[in-house]
Structure 1
Amino acid sequence: MKNKTRIPLLEPDLGENELKYLSKCISDNWISSAGPFIEEFEKKIATYAECKFSVATANATSGLYLSLIVAGVKPGDYVIVPDWTFSATANAVLMAGAIPYFVDIDIKTWNIDVNLVEKVISKEGKKITAVIAVHALGHPADMYKLRKICDKFNVLVIEDAAAAIGSKYYGKSVGQFGDLGVFSFNGNKTLTAGAGGMIVTNSQKWAALAKKISSQGKMGDKYNYDTVGFNFKMSNLNAAVGLAQLERLDKMVRNKHTIAEQYDKAIHSRKDLVAMPRNSEAESNCWLYSVLTASDKDAKLLINYLNENGVEAKLFWESLSKQKLYEKYPNYLVGVTDSIDQSLVSLPSSSNLGREALQYIISLIDSWEGKPLETSF
């Protein structure tokens, strides 16, 4: 398959209804931030996540920001976030005027270490007003234990489920275990709307306030305002695509499971590659299959080898607390993020990845050899 079309890391898996619904937007002249597809998409995502309310947003970052604001997080408050996450998680906290408190991940899950969360809350007391739990790579965090700890200290829980639509925790959709949950529909996500995000919650008050702030703080149809707001609204075009994608979500997740199973078999007995661990109580959507190498050097060698042979591969997240932008903020680290930092390689995981392409990728991985990992995961 060498020299054929480059195999992308992630690409949208689009069907007939995406085009059909987009065409309806144009024929009906509903192409902006109002239109019937937005409300329908909101209702169906709320139903899917088993929440009472949802609010469509321009992206997941604005959804996280709105969630913090409507839940009452104030400037100067501490908000716990995992050290291993996308920058949007911490940036939303900073946008809200709060202070990110970076906590290490659990070596058994690579999600936020809930035991360390409890230690930080016990130490800092009422300075901690919220915890953002990220479902890394689509793999659900330990939400029951985290919820129990946060409820004990009266601390808010927000789920950053940006990459986790379709993932389950004890058989239930992620997003419903926090006080608020946020999904992303960016072009690289399992369910894409081209762009956009969605807040889900059981609080009518918070949902109404989030919708108001995302509409410039406008009260009704008149140009009267009592809240500082922004334009964080989703367009009807994006909602149309998202709605069509939601109809096929289960199928796309099944395809990703099949892809992950093939990768699992390929690296099962290897000493130089390890897949991200998955909790037995959770079912990941397997958004982006990634493998851990022995070092940043090996990671770069693997990426270069795959790229040279027409396969896109990339390094995944880096520790935020070590970066100049975030190094001044408080943290509680025990070395787990350090142990995987800049050594994790993401592999092509599109739900429409064909069998021939997948086998070609696996054949390349089979022919590559790195150094054995010293840490046992």
Structure 2
Amino acid sequence: MWLCIFTVILSLACITNSSAQSIPFSSDKWDISARETRVENYFGRESLYLKGGQAIFKDADFKNGVIEFDIAFSGERGFMGVIFRVQDSRNFEDFYMRPHQSGKPDANQYTPVFNGDSGWQLYHGEGYGAAIKYEFNNWMPVKLVVSGKRAEIYIMDMESPVLVTHDLKREIAAGKIGLKAGNLAPAHFSNFRFRNIDNPELKGVPPKVEKASETTILSWQVSNNFPEAFLDQKHKLSKQDKESLSWQKFACEETGVANLARLQSPRDGKNTVFAKVVIRSDHEQIKKIQFGFSDRIRVFFNDRLLYSGNNNYASRDFRFLGTIGFFDELYLPFKKGENEIWMAVSEDFGGWGLLAKLENLDGVKIQ
């Protein structure tokens, strides 16, 4: 008898875990906040029209498993998709589609959001976006399979993932699930459902990650945030300039990227921090440093301003994305003994980050 009861319970658990019913958008379990939203019939089915906001399913407690929905949109410029492991309105994992980039390598995007700052300029290329041609003005099925630090995204073809994300950037923590559409083009959603599964099957092969070289700066001291205007017309840092700063040690990701939004938000006009490092040289020498940043930077070396740069979205031409990489370089005049590099990094949107590496470690040591 007990064996029969156990078998029934196990069977029910398997059924619950292996299938999920669509959740109607008319349910009061949705928390919808958007510029435009309505539940309407679209292409023969109930759907949620969404523009300029999010629809959060309040009862979700999702860590690992499968999220599925259908989406329809035009070819207009827009950003629509799904957010998951939502901790609050400013901290979650984000996957969205770019209809206007259909067929191109950045037709979609995975990015973490830390403290309200989306990091797409820091996370680009293989593992963060993939080429796919969308079917406009038609229902397209979408499936996310999430397991630990990995995720696979399926669009239209439910057997082969279009994107394999090898390293979800936020901590592995259960949270809510939501649908989203940006302020530009709207999207329709239907047939939303999800399943919590501890170890869902993953089919894709994760891309190889190019780890940082030994010359990369992998740890910074990062200051509290302050208004960018504090540095206007400042060509040398004084003792008084430094007195108001507090510091915390910050470890970079394995690629060398320092996502500064992990520590604090660039809100309320305080959009700038210093990231500093001490490098000891055993003699006077000139050494090249390569670096990347988002969005703007001022580089002080031993208190003197050596460089100012702008990497903003569309700052160089209308196609310029402002993505981060080792695209800038300086030749630093090291003195014998301790030398300090202070990089003031300012953020508007799209990613608050920094990475840097020396040409070699001959005669120097990164403290």
Same fold (TM over 0.5): no
TM-score bracket for the superposition, by shorter chain length = under 0.3
Q: Flag the structure with higher strand content.
A: 2
- Rg (Cα) greater in structure: 2
Q: Flag the structure with higher helix content.
A: 1
Q: TM-score, normalised by structure 1?
A: 0.24
Higher relative CO (Cα under 8 Å, sequence separation at least 6) belongs to 1
Q: TM-score, normalised by structure 2?
A: 0.25
